[in-house]
Structure 1
Amino acid sequence: MTQLADAPGPAERQRLMPRGSWDWHIPTPFSQGWRVDNLLFVGGQLSADEHGNVLGEGDIEVQTRNVFDAVTRVLAEGGATWRDVVKMNTYYVCEEKGDAVREFWEKMTQVRLQYLPTPGPAGTAVRVAGLMYDGFLIEVEAIAVIGSGSITATS
């Protein structure tokens, strides 16, 4: 097999496990995030204490703030900020109907907007029947390109 002269070497990989983040109650190999060269992948973050217990049960505003704080910690551990986030997926549990769904969404979004820069990342939000355990209302994962925060939007 021929190797190209300009082929890059192996990627630099760093496991991200910020102090104070929740951990599985059973041994698992999962990580809070990974930095691979200038890419940072934040695994799904929940509103949980260090032992995985739900914080802010029934309160989407409290849980959203806790989740975004957890994402912030993983980003910081890898040398990134919210300005570097280029993709964000949000999964949320809302059993309400009609106007109550809109009110739930607005409460969640008002907190999210306190963290997201303008322009914000590409985003997806998926309403789900449930998350890992009962009581969790929101889970967020993100991808960041470290050093991309100075890019401006074109119209």
Structure 2
Amino acid sequence: MSDKAVKTAVTPANHVPPPARFSAGVRKGNILQVAGQVGFLPAEEGKPPTPAGPTLRAQTEQTLSNVKAVLEEGGASWEDAVMIRVYLTDTAHFAEFNQIYDAYFAELEQPPAARTTVYVGLPAGLLVEIDCLAVLG
């Protein structure tokens, strides 16, 4: 028997399925990688994915909720996050995003995760995407 850690897909029950063949999250040993999440509301059978709203605030709050759901499904929390990557579609959103982000993480007991922010193109109507790397235990 090998002592290699098993790689396990992590997908919350009501999560919108990814648009291609990848997992919402993958855990191997004490490492959990959350794939880039966007601000889609929880999946409803037979309905297309729906963004939380047209505003940066609505999409950011839902995106953070979606990342948190994958973390929790994988046995982690924001306290376990060591790296967060943020993808914004508009440089003008940086200051507003930081206000939303800072308020969301104001209650963390441990130091915040490292963070990188980059500017990208996302599908029409989507303003933000976030991924996360967590180390458990």
Who is 1:71 aligned against?
67
Matches within 5 A, 1:48-59: 48-49=40-41, 50=43, 51-57=48-54, 59=55
TM-score where L is the length of structure 2: 0.83
TM-score where L is the length of structure 1: 0.74
Kindly report the root-mean-square deviation, in angstroms, between the aligned alpha carbons of the 2 structures.
2.1
Which of residues 125, 132, 136 in structure 2 aligns to 1:135? 125
Name the aligned partner's letter for residue 53 of structure 1.
T
In 2: Cα distance, 1:102 partner to 1:91 partner: 10
CA contact (8 A) 2:83 2:132 kept: yes
CA contact (8 A) 1:82 1:117 kept: no
How many residues are matched?
131
Asked which structure has the greater CA Rg, the reply is: 1
Question: Any gaps of 5 or more consecutive residues in structure 2?
Answer: none
Question: Any gaps of 5 or more consecutive residues in structure 1?
Answer: 1-7, 148-155
Secondary structure (helix, strand or coil) at the match of 1:66 reads helix
Who is 1:18 aligned against?
12
Greater than 6 Å deviation, 4+ residue runs: none
CA contact (8 A) 2:18 2:24 kept: no
In 2: Cα distance, 1:35 partner to 1:109 partner: 25
Q: What's the offset of the Cα at 1:107?
A: 3.8
Secondary structure (helix, strand or coil) at the match of 1:83 reads helix
Who is 1:3 aligned against?
none
1:104 is the counterpart of 2:78: no
In structure 2, the CA distance between the partners of 1:109 and 1:29, relative to structure 1 (3 Å rule), is same
CA contact (8 A) 1:64 1:112 kept: no
